[in-house]
Amino acid sequence: MKTNALSIALASIFAVGSALAQNFPTKPLRMVIHFPPGGPTDYVGRAMAQKLSEIWKQQIVIDNRPGAGGIIGVESVVRAVPDGHTLLFGTSGSLSLAPAFTPKLPYNVYTDLAPITLAVINPQILVVHPSLPVSSIKDLIALAKKKPGHINYGSVGPGSPQHMGMELLKTMAGIDLVHIPYKGTGPAMTELLSGQISAMFNSMPVVLSQVAAGRLRAIAVGSAKRSPAAPNVPTVAEAGLAGFQYTTWYALLAPAATPKDIINKINADSVKVLTQPEMAERFSSQGSEPAPTTPEGLAQHMRQENENWKKVIRLAKIKIEG
């Protein structure tokens, strides 16, 4: 009798969950993006929101919440009602790098958020000022070994993806480059274009026009394979550092207690959106590559990336914040 009662109770719970998912969404949704409007993250997040809104016949309001390295935006989702109507469009920086670099966050991204799907992967491109006499990664490594501590590079701050990508390069190549942190991409790019700094990893939409104009020189991409947005630029691995891989990525998540059936529905509809040829074209124009996953696949990806960055931090002897 007890077993039958338990079975009935569980069946009721599953039935309620399925009904919730079937009727989802029941009202307008909110998608939190922890960057200002107009940047690459905002562009991809809004594109996904537009297509999901068409499928669901509900408005998705974009809530841009920049600041504190993504903490403000992520925390607002962690504290939201877990009914699937509040979503986080997060980044590799906030979901894997920040937990490695700043362990004392006001939340745990692995227990306080429910992964839904990886959205896109963004190959990062290494550019140098034309005054630096290098045309390839091999040239850069040779010059850095000849003149240790002579070449500097920019980032948007300690622990940022640009900083950590270059630290990965330094560690694997055994070279000494000087880190110059800035408070944003704008100031860093201004200094790079003026020749005040010599090199920088950055996203393709930010730098490809400058490369085309001859103001910067592209010497490598950090992804495992060449990017369709810059097919003539070799990978770092091709240039001799086998196994080098540095990309950024965006992903969709919800508050941790969001019902599994709703997570699965959002995942299924997000995969439909991300696999549309039209979306692939839109994203490739920004140097992004659609990369949908299962919720479990995203969870595994986040943890693996976190472990990779912990290793870089350890090998490069980078001071941990907090």
Written as one string, the DSSP assignment of 133-187 is --SSHHHHHHHHHHSTTT-EEEESSTTSHHHHHHHHHHHHHT---EEEE-SSHHH
SS (H, E, C) 184-223: CHHHHHHHHHHCCCCEEEEEHHHHHHHHHCCCCEEEEECC
pLDDT at res. 4: 60
Residue 161 predicted with pLDDT over 70: yes
The pLDDT confidence band at residue 13, using thresholds 50, 70 and 90, is very low
Residue 318 predicted with pLDDT over 90: no
Provide CB contacts within 8 A for 65, sequence distance 6+. 32, 33, 34, 72, 73, 76
Mean pLDDT of 286-299: 93
pTM for this predicted structure: 0.87
Q: What backbone torsions phi and psi does residue 121 show, to the nearest 5 degrees?
A: -110, 135
Specify the 3-state DSSP secondary structure of 10.
helix
Fold exhibited by the domain 123-221: D-Maltodextrin-Binding Protein; domain 2 (3.40.190)
Provide CB contacts within 8 A for 120, sequence distance 6+. 44, 249, 250, 274, 283, 288, 289, 290, 291
Mean pLDDT of 141-159: 94
The pLDDT tens digits for 106-126 are 999 999 999 999 999 998 999
**Residues forming CATH 3.40.190.10 domain(s) in the chain:** 123-221
Residue 34 predicted with pLDDT over 90: yes
Fold exhibited by the domain 2-122+247-316: D-Maltodextrin-Binding Protein; domain 2 (3.40.190)
**Residues forming CATH 3.40.190.150 domain(s) in the chain:** 2-122+247-316
Question: Under the phi-then-psi rule, with left for phi > 0, alpha for psi from -120 to 50, and beta for the rest, what region is 193?
Answer: alpha
